[in-house]
A and B are shown apart, each in its own frame.
Chain A
């Protein structure tokens, strides 16, 4: 081959390479949806422009109507195409998805699995489960698999598992109901408990003015009524499962232990009592009277009478009683004076004496009116 022939061959090869590159560019533009019309025809006069809009729309419509999310990504993980279902899954508008990194929509911990899938698309036919981030910080689980790879592009299919999760949750709920592990349901904005959800004594205990709790055979609180919750100032959920002795002051735990020992050996519902001090959340202890009664299954029902409060009531009652006694004495004196004045008015012939008696009667009546007025404004706690 001569030098000239070699140079000619080199030029042809270069020209062919350029045409090949151009063809590659056209193919890339087509696959990326960047062109929607072609010029076809043998000569300049016969050339026609063919619009691909119809065919393209049908293709896009087909993809968009898929019930699964579909994304085409480059090897760098850039989204080149996404269907409407995928945009709904991740909660982003289609326009926002293009040319963003697919990894941005995947939970950080799942990105390695997705990258591995893109590197070895045939490694697992079932794909991998990833968490897709949604606006507002929520997530949705999706199974992603590679539908096709073409040179440097991969098309991924995302199956939204939230419906599958919801179905699994529904199955689990039904199973829990069958096992009898559920006793209340949410109906709209109300909670409905099953008829047998509460023991009759609990319904009663919630209405009494004393504190009440139920102990397991091991001395742990399994029920506490609202009055006890208020008395101790501790939320019910903290009381439940706690040993009762943790709420009794150390010096009084021996008395409690004696009651517990007696209660465990007791087969009937006869009661036992002890005075102990209990620790309130406020730090101030309260003197209480504990009364216990045996229940079925080794449990026991305990009543808690707040003696501090009872003694406060007792002291208040005493003050009231004294006040009423003093008041009765005052009234009796005033009425006696008025009766004497009235007697004098009835019998006294002397006009001057009668005027004195009348004056005295008026003063006593005025005094009585003042006392009554004072009683109207008095504070019951005074």
Chain B
């Protein structure tokens, strides 16, 4: 599921390279919370990171061993792979403000503006 144009970190804004957010969402098939997390993440990304995010959905029902990569305990869990540092947000992302704080999205946007 990709919204970024030009690949990882390949987007530009006024000629300046724009950082692409690499997000990984761990789900458990189509449980209500997993589905809600997918919907909420898509909405938040479209609103706050249009055209510069990449979402990878990993269904742990299909392959539970992949949980080891990011030491996942509870599902759904969102992992921000890029930008550094890695951050995790546990839950269905229904609280947008908490999600934005967890992703440090506003802080990054302010830093980019500076």
Contacts and interface: CB of A to CB of B under 8 A. Distances in A.
A179 B95 CA distance: 10
Interface string B64-75: 110100001111
Interface of A: 107, 109, 131, 139, 141, 169, 172-173, 176-177, 179, 181-186, 189-191, 193, 197-199, 202, 220, 222-224, 235-238, 240-241
Contact of A107 (B57, B67, B84): B84
29 contacts: A109-B84, A139-B84, A141-B85, A172-B88, A173-B74, A176-B74, A179-B95, A181-B33, A181-B90, A181-B93, A182-B33, A182-B92, A183-B75, A184-B28, A184-B31, A185-B73, A185-B75, A186-B60, A186-B75, A191-B28, A191-B61, A193-B28, A197-B31, A199-B32, A223-B30, A224-B30, A237-B59, A240-B30, A241-B42
B108 interface: no
Interface string B29-40: 111111100110
B31 A198 contact: yes
Instruction: Select the residue from B1, B32, B89 with max chain A CB neighbours within 10 A.
Output: B32
B106 interface: no
Contacts of A222: 35, 39
Contacts of B42: 241
Given A191-B75, A193-B29, A241-B39, 11 more contacts: A107-B84, A186-B60, A186-B72, A189-B65, A190-B64, A193-B31, A197-B32, A223-B30, A224-B30, A237-B57, A238-B1
B32 A183 contact: yes
Contacts of B34: 183-184
The prevalent SS among residues of A at the interface is: mixed
A177 B32 contact: no
Given A181-B91, A241-B43, A131 B84 contact: yes
Contacts of B38: 237, 240-241
A164 to B, nearest CB: 13
A240 B86 CA distance: 26
A237 B74 contact: no
Instruction: Select the residue from A173, A182, A190, A223 with max chain B CB neighbours within 10 A.
Output: A182
A294 B80 CA distance: 37
B87 to A, nearest CB: 10
Nearest to A177: B74
Closest 3 CB pairs of A and B: A181-B91, A184-B28, A176-B91
B94 interface: yes
Given A184-B33, A186-B60, A179 B39 contact: no
B38 to A, nearest CB: 5
A196 B31 CA distance: 9
A109 B82 CA distance: 14
A140 to B, nearest CB: 10
Contact of A183 (B28, B65, B95): B28
A208 B77 CA distance: 30
B20 interface: no
A179 B43 CA distance: 21
A73 B28 CA distance: 49
B48 to A, nearest CB: 16
Contacts of A241: 38-39, 42-43
Nearest to A186: B67
